[in-house]
């Protein structure tokens, strides 16, 4: 059934480009065979969105998997992120494209606002103008930091990728991004695995006849975010893609909303790591 297929669920970004609502995240997968396999499995299973970053060190494996898969380049949405410990988003984009073995990425994000939220943005705009990326955005930016970028931008960010799950609900950030036509992407939607063991999540999953992972991911979808779970196991990558053939009720959603531990914050992070 096509409506179940992950590649059929697209979201339009404010710049007119379309992004599949589900992607495979490859944070913490080492460069090499494990990463190549995970990405190939995802593409076989119908994923059409892969999320990597310069800081992950595995762009080369993502590129290899894409090539080996035989899936046409224009059918796959590829995101990478500028590592802000470096100075030049344009030069670093060129290096990313070389490692990925492609001519452009679909989305290029500032990975975090190290050194302030605005200094790298002109370089991001230049990377887009050069055709190195179709869309540009940010990651780990608070609402206040989004406003700083927007105030100086010629081209506004269309995405803010943040840690997001029922436990990190960040409702004011989600609402604030929405008001600014910025789509939220949810990273660590499973809490890097630890939310899967939560009793309330497990009870709800049993009640709706789904797995805890599917419930957490479906919650993200119904919050209108783009979601990028990570797994290196084929069966889990498949399980995580089966989230478009059921709906959580308003009561289910409210039960999950209530797990928020951020106080509905507009902050992207509880603590900085840089
Ligand atoms: P693994 O990669 O060994 O399959 P997040 O997306 O929040 O970062 O969570 C990723 C973590 O959750 C990884 O440790 C991953 O393990 C695990 N994981 C991903 N999907 C599932 C699943 N469907 N069931 C159980 N664990 C999962």
The domain that contains 27 carries what CATH number? 3.20.20.100
In a domain, 238, yes or no: no
SS3 call for 142: coil
Q: Is 236 in the pocket of ligand 1 (CB under 6 A)?
A: yes
Categorize the per-residue pLDDT at 243 as very low, low, confident or very high, splitting at 50, 70 and 90.
Answer: very high
Catalytic-labelled residue, pool 56, 108, 132, 187: 56
CA of 121 relative to ligand 1 center, distance in Å:
32
Q: What is the pLDDT of residue 259?
A: 98
CA of 135 relative to ligand 1 center, distance in Å:
28
Q: Is 30 in the pocket of ligand 1 (CB under 6 A)?
A: no
Q: Two tokens at 40?
A: 């190939």
Strand duo 10-12 + 18-20: pairing: antiparallel
Are residues 51 and 79 in contact, defined by beta-carbon separation less than 8 angstroms?
yes
In a domain, 257, yes or no: no
Residue nearest to atom 16 of ligand 1 (CA): 231
In a domain, 272, yes or no: no
Residue nearest to atom 26 of ligand 1 (CA): 193
In a domain, 251, yes or no: no
In a domain, 268, yes or no: no
56 given a catalytic annotation: yes
Query: How many residues are listed for the chain in this entry?
Result: 274
Average pLDDT across the chain, whole number:
97
* Better-scored residue on pLDDT, 145 or 2: 145
Q: What is the pLDDT of residue 3?
A: 73
164 φ, ψ to 5°? -150, 130
Percent of the chain exceeding pLDDT 90 equals: 97
In a domain, 168, yes or no: yes
The three-state DSSP-derived secondary structure of 56-111 is HCCHHHHHHHHHHHCCCHHHCEEEEEECCCCCCHHHHHHHHHHHHCCCCEEEEEEC
pLDDT at 2 > cutoff 60: no
Nearest Cα to Cα of residue 136 among 102, 76, 85, 93? 93
Q: In the sheet that 49-51 helps form, which strands lie side by side, from edge to edge?
A: 24-25, 49-51, 77-82, 105-110, 133-139, 159-163, 183-187, 226-227
Taking CA atoms, 12 is separated from 53, 219, 226, in Å, by: 22, 19, 11
In a domain, 243, yes or no: no
d(CA 34, CA 24): 14
Give how many domains the chain has, as a whole number.
Answer: 1
Q: Which domain, by its residues, includes 25?
A: 10-193+224-231
In a domain, 217, yes or no: no
Q: What is the pLDDT of residue 8?
A: 84
Residue with tokens 């009870």: 203
Q: Is 189 in the pocket of ligand 1 (CB under 6 A)?
A: yes
Q: Distance of alpha carbon 235 from its chain centroid, rounded?
A: 21
d(CA 125, CA 90): 9
* Better-scored residue on pLDDT, 192 or 6: 192
Residue nearest to atom 4 of ligand 1 (CA): 231
d(CA 100, CA 108): 13
pLDDT at 1 > cutoff 80: no
Does this model's pTM top 0.95? My answer is: yes
d(CA 13, CA 261): 28
162-186 confidence digits (pLDDT tens): 999 999 999 999 999 999 999 999 9
83-99 confidence digits (pLDDT tens): 999 999 999 999 999 99
Q: Is 210 in the pocket of ligand 1 (CB under 6 A)?
A: no
d(CA 76, CA 243): 19
Q: Which of 25, 35, 193 to mutate to test the pocket of ligand 1 (most atoms within 8 A of CB)?
A: 193
Q: Is 220 in the pocket of ligand 1 (CB under 6 A)?
A: no
């Amino acid at each position: 059934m096509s409506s179940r297929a992950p590649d059929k669920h697209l979201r339009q970004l404010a710049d007119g480009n379309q992004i599949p609502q589900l992607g495979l995240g490859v944070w913490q997968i080492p460069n090499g065979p494990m990463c190549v396999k995970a990405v190939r499995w995802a593409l076989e299973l119908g994923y059409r969105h892969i999320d990597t970053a310069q800081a992950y060190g595995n762009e080369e494996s993502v590129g290899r998997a894409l090539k080996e898969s035989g899936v046409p380049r224009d059918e796959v949405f590829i995101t990478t992120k500028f590592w802000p410990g470096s100075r030049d988003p344009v030069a670093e984009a060129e290096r990313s494209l070389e490692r990925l073995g492609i001519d452009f990425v679909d989305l290029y994000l500032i990975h975090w606002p190290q050194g302030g939220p605005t200094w790298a943005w002109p370089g991001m705009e230049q990377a887009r103008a050069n055709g190195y990326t179709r869309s540009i955005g940010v990651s780990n930016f608070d609402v206040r930091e989004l406003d700083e970028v927007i105030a100086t931008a010629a081209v506004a960010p269309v995405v803010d990728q943040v840690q997001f799950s029922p436990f990190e609900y960040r409702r004011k950030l989600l609402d604030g991004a929405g008001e600014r036509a910025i789509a939220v992407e949810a990273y660590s939607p499973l809490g890097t695995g630890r939310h899967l063991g939560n009793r309330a999540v497990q009870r709800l999953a049993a009640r709706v006849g789904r797995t805890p992972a599917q419930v957490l991911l479906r919650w993200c979808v119904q919050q209108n975010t783009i979601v990028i779970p990570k797994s290196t196991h084929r069966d889990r990558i498949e399980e995580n893609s089966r989230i478009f053939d059921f709906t959580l009720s308003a009561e289910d959603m409210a039960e999950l909303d209530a797990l928020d531990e951020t106080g509905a914050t507009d902050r992207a992070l509880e603590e900085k790591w840089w």
